[in-house]
Amino acid sequence: MKKTIFTGAGVAIVTPFSKDGSINYEMLGRLLDMQIEGGTDAIISCGTTGESATMSHQEHVDVLKFTIDYVAGRVPVIAGTGSNETAVAAELSTEAEKLGADGLLIVTPYYNKTSQPGLVAHYNYIADRVNLPIILYNVPSRTGCNIKPETYLELSKHPNIVATKEANGDIAAAAKTKALCGDALELYSGNDDQIVPLMSLGGKGVISVLSNVAPRVAHDIVQLYLDGKTKESCALQLEYLDLINALFMDVNPIPVKEALNLMGLDVGECRLPLIRMQDKQVETLQNILKKYELIK
């Protein structure tokens, strides 16, 4: 059996920006402490929610270094190092390994996409160049590229490819993937509204947007399930469904950054081309946050 990087709820953490658009490291430190104190089981840095697509290479490396150094082993830090250019993803991955990351999250190639054999070649190329465990990231709604169960089976043969963050919304495909791969490939839900369904298929947890604003809730949904309290886990997931949905009322991470700002955590706005939500959406989000007592 391969080594599991973490079990539980990992946060796909936002990257806070100052008013001038630079990275706000002081706030990033506050967010990291909040997550760890709130029970988060892993930090996923420079993923989609962290706006890695609008970071320069140096910013990407600097944020990873700060996060790894600041967390200082309290929980695992998983570095987002994906790219649509295989060589760039490999370079970022080797840099993250040198910085001390505990694992890598690598999204499928986007825009240029690739075939299923191309996905195997892409990921194996990267995995051959690092000694870290790799979580694949399948989010076709953003990349236009979907990993099929049979492709997961082929990828799971590489010793460094240990898991996938599955965010294609296809529970039947996830079931087939688990049936084909067994313990050779662990599953993490990439959708906060599907934590319990993925756990029922043997999933190890979630890589979560919800955790940014409610780390204890995301953690508890997973932990209750792991403790055999499946009804309670499901009930908690359903209880927070309105908040989960609100965090995706616009393109991620626009709503979750707005939520954090409303909660008094000044994470700034997203970088262009993402813009602030319309006032009516902000009002809806405020009401949802009040419902869950995250703001007054």
pLDDT in the model for residue 3? 82
| Region 114-122 average pLDDT | 98
Q: Pick from 16, 53, 48, 82: which is nearest to 272 by CA? A: 53
E strand intervals along 202-271: 205-208
Tokens of 130: 């690092």
Would the pLDDT of 2 be above 90?
no
Task: For residue 200, tell me if it sits in a domain.
Answer: yes
Task: For residue 32, tell me if it sits in a domain.
Answer: yes
**Whether the predicted model's global pTM rises above the 0.95 cut:** yes
CB burial readout 68-102, b (16+ within 10 A) else e: bebbeeebbbbbbbbbbebeebbbbbbbbbebebb
Determine the Cα–Cα distance for residues 77 and 82; give it in Å rounded to an integer: 15
β-pairing, 205-208 vs 134-138, is unpaired
Number of domains composing the chain? 1
Task: For residue 109, tell me if it sits in a domain.
Answer: yes
Q: Tell me: the pLDDT tens digits for 201-231?
A: 999 999 999 999 999 999 999 999 999 999 9
Confidence of residue 4 (pLDDT cuts 50, 70, 90): confident
Any idea what the Cα angle at residue 50 is, between residues 215 and 158, rounded to 5°?
A: 90
Peptide linkage before 117 cis (omega within 30 of 0): no
Task: For residue 79, tell me if it sits in a domain.
Answer: yes
Task: For residue 46, tell me if it sits in a domain.
Answer: yes
Task: For residue 290, tell me if it sits in a domain.
Answer: no
Q: Tell me: the pLDDT tens digits for 163-185?
A: 999 999 999 999 999 999 999 99
Residues serving a catalytic function are: 137, 165
Phi and psi at 209, nearest 5°, equal: -85, -40
Q: Tell me: the pLDDT tens digits for 140-154?
A: 999 999 999 999 999
Any idea what the Cα angle at residue 196 is, between residues 10 and 260, rounded to 5°?
A: 45
CATH for 179: 3.20.20.70
Task: For residue 1, tell me if it sits in a domain.
Answer: no
Task: For residue 281, tell me if it sits in a domain.
Answer: no
Tokens of 271: 């970088």
Would the pLDDT of 1 be above 80?
no
Q: Tell me: the pLDDT tens digits for 53-101?
A: 999 999 999 999 999 999 999 999 999 999 999 999 999 999 999 999 9
Q: Tell me: the pLDDT tens digits for 12-55?
A: 999 999 999 999 999 999 999 999 999 999 999 999 999 999 99
Note whether 71 and 36 are within 8 A (CB): yes
Structural domain boundaries enclosing 157? 8-239
Strand partners, 163: 135, 186
